């Protein structure tokens, strides 16, 4: 985890940053962890809030967008992606939907991961959460 273990055969600080950004966005599925993580800095934004952290010499910030029901519907920031030659950084986001109570926590149960690459959007991941174990 956190760049220590290879991801697609790669490791290092850019992989660490990729994972750090992803883990921040995935706090949407474990909001109780925000209260247990003193390194996280939370600030209000116009449409929701943002969470920032400095860890392992890397800074990461993810913005969360809330709908009128105060549900997280989007998490976005900048994230590296691997290319055959190196790593590039691009705008990146999760789209969250279908909120429900799982494991006693109200969370989004669907998500789509998207990189906003120069050649267009790359929807690389889609998931339906069916359970949470505490």
The yes-or-no verdict on residue 134 having pLDDT over 90 is no
pLDDT, average across residues 94-102:
97
List of E strands, 1-104? 41-45, 48-55, 58-66, 72-82, 87-102
Average pLDDT of the chain to the nearest whole number: 91
pLDDT, average across residues 108-128:
96
Tell me the pLDDT band of 7, cut-offs 50, 70 and 90: very low
Q: Is 105 helix (H, G, I), strand (E, B) or coil?
A: strand
Judge whether 88 and 79 are in contact, CB under 8 Å: no
Tell me the pLDDT band of 99, cut-offs 50, 70 and 90: very high
The yes-or-no verdict on residue 68 having pLDDT over 90 is yes
Which tokens is 92 given?
């990146």
Backbone angles phi, psi at 38, to 5 degrees: -65, -15
Which tokens is 42 given?
């939370």
Tell me the pLDDT band of 57, cut-offs 50, 70 and 90: confident
When mean pLDDT is compared across 1-15, 28-42, 81-95, the lowest value belongs to 1-15
Burial code of 9-22, b = ≥16 C-beta within 10 A, e = fewer?
eeeeebbbbbbbbb
pTM (2 d.p.)? 0.89
Tell me the pLDDT band of 10, cut-offs 50, 70 and 90: low
Distance CA 40, CA 74 (A): 19
């Amino acid at each position: 985890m956190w760049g220590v273990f290879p991801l697609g055969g790669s490791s290092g600080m850019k992989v660490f940053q990729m994972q750090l950004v992803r883990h921040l966005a995935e706090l949407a599925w474990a909001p109780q962890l925000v209260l247990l993580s003193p390194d996280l800095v939370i600030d209000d934004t116009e449409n929701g809030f943002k969470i920032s952290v400095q860890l392992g010499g890397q800074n990461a910030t993810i913005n969360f967008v809330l709908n009128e029901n105060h549900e997280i519907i989007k998490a976005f920031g900048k994230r590296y992606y691997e290319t055959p030659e190196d790593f590039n950084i691009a705008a990146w986001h999760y789209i969250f939907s279908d909120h429900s109570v799982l494991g006693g926590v109200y969370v989004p149960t669907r998500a789509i991961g998207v990189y906003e690459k120069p050649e267009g959007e790359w929807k690389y991941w889609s998931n339906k959460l069916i359970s949470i174990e505490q």
